[in-house]
Amino acid sequence: MIWLLAASVLGVIAALQQGSLAGGPFRDCEILTYGHIAAAQHNLFVYGWGFNAFFALNLWLLSQLGRFELRNGWLATLGGAVWNLALTYGVIQIFAGNQTGFGLLEFPREVGPVLAVAFLLAGFWPIVAFARRPTGHTFASQWFVVAASFAFPLTYLLAQLLILWQPASGVVQAIAHSWFVSNLLLLWFGASALAAVYYFLPKVLGRTISGYYLAPVAFWSFILFAGWTGPAALIGAPVPLWLQSVGVVAGAMLIIPVIITAINFHGTLSAEGGWSRAWNDTTLRFVSFGAVAFTLFGVLNTVFGFRGYNAVVRFTSFAAGQEQLLTYSFASMVLFGATYFVLPRLTGSRWPSAKLVHVHFWATALGAVASIVALLVGGWENGKQLADASVSFQQVAKAGSTWNTVLCVSAVLLLVGHVAFALNAFGMILKSSAPASAGRHD
């Protein structure tokens, strides 16, 4: 599976770019104006890192669980190459001022179909692996990966069609967009990362998931409610009220899978010194961090869906904080942990430096916590001031500058962590003499 290596490399590059791009504002430079940087960074993180890394991890997981050997690896590699070329083109276009104005669909519309085809080539293999598995028995990780691999291309195509190719009328574009974003975040990032937690926790601890009989309920309730949560991002917007209410209710119902996964994950970790064992294992240290982050995300998502709280934090950095909690503290930390488990088994060599692993963990963990506190607490304070019409907008902006400093520090911390991770990973890949195409090991 050369593909995993390529994916990690590209993913790391994207993550690196993410860290460095989030740096200071450049004045009077059109290419680097905030509207360009913000869009490029967001897309690089999501499509560059999040997708490449989960393509690889999802395929690896289902190959392991389904005893599947990918024979047409070149197809997946081709898909990956196309995906990354299209992505690069899209990001260049954003910097060149050619973007659409819809978050996470900013790439000019010709990129969409290419990404969709690339996804089918690179991201569809987990479903093949599931279909060809020799045993009748299935495991929670497999359901979540199949859901992610199937739901995303469907969502992406429909959203492309109704937003960019045949735009729906007026605010229906915004409604379709909110539906797309919630599906992307929950059904791709959320479901893929949940699959990884369901796999690595019992695997590394060597015990079964506690309350595993609840996992199917978690799966179906998650899949069932996730698709309805989108309009919660449109509370107060000029869209029909019934839509906003559906979004709020679905967001509240999402607490069901959050509670069940909390029982599954934290229950497993709490038994027989699981937490201390997790802390002493590199993979589990990252994965447990992610599991805690997901629970926190779920609770915040439910509480801040309600109109009263939502009215305060609307239009502030709070939503970005929730997204960061899901895509970084949960999904990316789980991905890091998974890489520490998978990469040595693929390359047949060890991680070159234990120190760099520590740097990676502490820098990303502290950076993630700092950025989330800054975005959430900063967003809340900001919203409180905005709600008071006697405080002028300039005063509000000034009051938020402390949190901006914290954000800059956290971006640097994340960058340091990603550099450490990249050095370690590249070091290992270069060192390994075993051909990466050896396929499945253990």
> Minimum distance from CB of 178 to another protein (Å)?
8
- Which of 4, 21 has the CB closer to another protein? 21
Assess contact for 150 and 58: CB atoms under 8 A: no
C-alpha separations of 226 from 137, 223, 325 in Å: 26, 6, 16
- Which of 244, 339 has the CB closer to another protein? 244
d(CA 24, CA 298): 31
Place of tokens 């389904």: 66
- Among 72, 92, 167, 272, the residue binding another protein under the rule CB under 8 A is 167
- Among 34, 71, 206, 433, the residue binding another protein under the rule CB under 8 A is 34
d(CA 45, CA 87): 11
- Among 7, 22, 36, 53, the residue binding another protein under the rule CB under 8 A is 36
- Among 279, 315, 395, 438, the residue binding another protein under the rule CB under 8 A is 315
Instruction: List Cβ neighbours of 132 (8 Å cut-off, separation of 6 or more).
Output: 66, 68
- Which of 101, 435 has the CB closer to another protein? 101
Is 317 a binding residue for another protein by CB under 8 A? The answer is yes
Assess contact for 202 and 209: CB atoms under 8 A: yes
Q: Which stretch binds another protein (CB under 8 A): 273-281, 284-292, 328-336, 380-388?
A: 380-388
Is 224 a binding residue for another protein by CB under 8 A? The answer is yes
- Name the helix (H) or strand (E) containing 144: helix 140-160
> Minimum distance from CB of 392 to another protein (Å)?
9
- Which of 245, 432 has the CB closer to another protein? 245
Instruction: List Cβ neighbours of 10 (8 Å cut-off, separation of 6 or more).
Output: 48, 52, 80, 84
> Minimum distance from CB of 287 to another protein (Å)?
24
Assess contact for 181 and 152: CB atoms under 8 A: no
Is 213 a binding residue for another protein by CB under 8 A? The answer is no
> Minimum distance from CB of 154 to another protein (Å)?
5
> Minimum distance from CB of 125 to another protein (Å)?
14
Is 175 a binding residue for another protein by CB under 8 A? The answer is yes
Output Rg (C-alpha) for the chain, integer angstroms. Answer: 21
Is 172 a binding residue for another protein by CB under 8 A? The answer is yes
- Which of 103, 123 has the CB closer to another protein? 103
- Which of 261, 316 has the CB closer to another protein? 316
> Minimum distance from CB of 62 to another protein (Å)?
12
- Among 69, 74, 85, 97, the residue binding another protein under the rule CB under 8 A is 97
* Phi and psi angles of residue 315, each rounded to the nearest 5 degrees, phi first: 70, 5
**Pattern 270-309, another protein, x by CB under 8 A:** -------------------------------------x--
Site for another protein in 234-273 (CB under 8 A): 234-240, 243, 246
Is 101 a binding residue for another protein by CB under 8 A? The answer is yes
Is 405 a binding residue for another protein by CB under 8 A? The answer is no
- Which of 6, 151 has the CB closer to another protein? 151
Tell which residue, 168, 198, 195, has the closest CA to residue 180. 168
Instruction: List Cβ neighbours of 385 (8 Å cut-off, separation of 6 or more).
Output: 391, 395, 396, 399
DSSP state of 186: I
Tell which residue, 154, 145, 155, has the closest CA to residue 181. 155
> Minimum distance from CB of 64 to another protein (Å)?
18
Site for another protein in 119-138 (CB under 8 A): 127, 130-131, 136-138
Is 357 a binding residue for another protein by CB under 8 A? The answer is no
d(CA 283, CA 296): 20
> Minimum distance from CB of 227 to another protein (Å)?
4
Q: Where are the beta strands (DSSP E) in 297-385?
A: none
Q: Which stretch binds another protein (CB under 8 A): 194-202, 203-211, 232-240, 353-361?
A: 232-240
> Minimum distance from CB of 86 to another protein (Å)?
20
d(CA 436, CA 442): 14
Report the chain's terminal Cα–Cα distance, integer Å: 14
* Phi and psi angles of residue 432, each rounded to the nearest 5 degrees, phi first: -70, 125
Is 82 a binding residue for another protein by CB under 8 A? The answer is no
DSSP state of 345: H
Instruction: List Cβ neighbours of 290 (8 Å cut-off, separation of 6 or more).
Output: 193, 197, 329, 330, 331, 332, 333, 334, 337
Is 157 a binding residue for another protein by CB under 8 A? The answer is no
